[in-house]
Structure formats: C-alpha cells, structure tokens
Structure 1
Amino acid sequence: MNITAQLTDDAILRELGARLAATRLAQNLTQAAVAEQAGVSKRTLERLESGEVATQLSGFLRVCRALGLAERLELLVPAPTPSPMAQLKLEGRRRQRASGKPTAARETGAWTWGKSK
C-alpha cells in the first residue's frame, strides 16, 4: 500500500509498522535483537510494528499532513523489495543500461581553451 495524504493516521502507522516488521524479518532479526540494538524495550518495538503508537507520533503525522509532507513519509520506510533472485523469477531480466536522452541543440559558437564568457 502506498502512503498518501488520504490515509488516516492509524492506517499510516499500521503500514509503517508492517514495513518495519517486514524489513526486520528480511534481515532475519528477532524483535528482541532489534529492540536491544535500538535501545528500546521489546514491547515498544511490538507496539511500533503493530501500529500502536504514542500520541507524539500521531501529532507528528498530523503536522506532516498539514505541511503537505504526508506523501514523503513513503520514503521514510520504503516498501521492502524482493531479492535480486526473486526479481528475476518474478519479472525476468532487468535493464542494465540506460539509452540516454537525446542531447539538446548545442551552442554554435566556437569554443576556445581557457576563455570564459
């Protein structure tokens, strides 16, 4: 699910929590290990992953929405991507090179070494 300004605070928090949990699981880490590394209790991590949050974070989301920044929360915790092998199985080959954009018409003036305009 994409995070948009139309989602409720609870829906955004649940989606962010699910993404955190998916990222943790993709790295094969336990909640206890992540909580210890982050310096928070395991219960705090459980609440974050389930979308239960403190009032301050909900207030933060409201301010972001008021400032037109809600869509940018999508970048905060991006949706997990499949491994390269899984991508190959799902989508086949990926592009390896960009074709580039056509160059714009260049100035016709003569170029000389060391002179600036």
Structure 2
Amino acid sequence: MTWDLAVKVFPVAAAIGAGSLALLRWIDLRQREIANDEFEKVFRLIMVVTGQHPDGTGARILDQIAAVWMLKEFSRFHGAIRNALDRKWDTSFASNLFIEQVVPEIHKMLQQLPVKAK
C-alpha cells in the first residue's frame, strides 16, 4: 500500500520541485533585468543632468532640472548618484547657467536622499 502511494506522490513532488526551481530562476533573472534597466535609466539621467541627451543633443536647463529630481526615484543607486553629483561645480567644467540654475537643484535633491549608516 505504501509503495503505491509513493509511486503516485513522487512524480507530483518532482514536478512541484522542478517548477519551484524554474520559478526561482525566473525571479532572479527578472530582478537582474530590472536592475540593469534601472542602471541604464540612471546613467541616461545623469547624462541629461550634465547637459547631454543620450542621442547627443544638448539638454535644456529645464530637462536638466527635471532629470535631477527624477534621479531621486532610484533608491538602489542613491550612493552612486551622490558620488557622481556631490562635487564642487565650477566654470572650468560647467557653464554659469548650469551652476546658477541646475547645481542648486542638485544640492536640494542630494539633501533629500537618505544617508546610509556606515
């Protein structure tokens, strides 16, 4: 009697196990895809903040300010965003207009990012 039960249960248990492993693999793959997509978006936004759209055209001040605030949404990358943008901006690197209008927005946004405890 127990052998008959084992013969019936084993294929079902094996199918559940295989399905579970496939689901876990899919979840891992999907999380990696999402992280990669977010990285690409953050990279593009930082390009816009610094004055260039990904297609090579120049970004307007309004585009740059909007991109600054959009970066706040990517919490996974707050440390990298802070490292990239928390710097002394001067006219040897950036225009006066950028320093006067975009840099204050960068500083406001960075102040709102949580600081990780070390």
TM-score range for the pair, normalised by the shorter chain length? under 0.3
Bigger proportion of residues as helix: 2
Q: Report the structure number with the largest CA radius of gyration.
A: 2
Indicate the structure whose relative CO is greater, using CA pairs within 8 Å and at least 6 residues apart.
Answer: 1
Q: Could you tell me the TM-score, scaled by structure 1's length?
A: 0.22
Q: Could you tell me the TM-score, scaled by structure 2's length?
A: 0.22
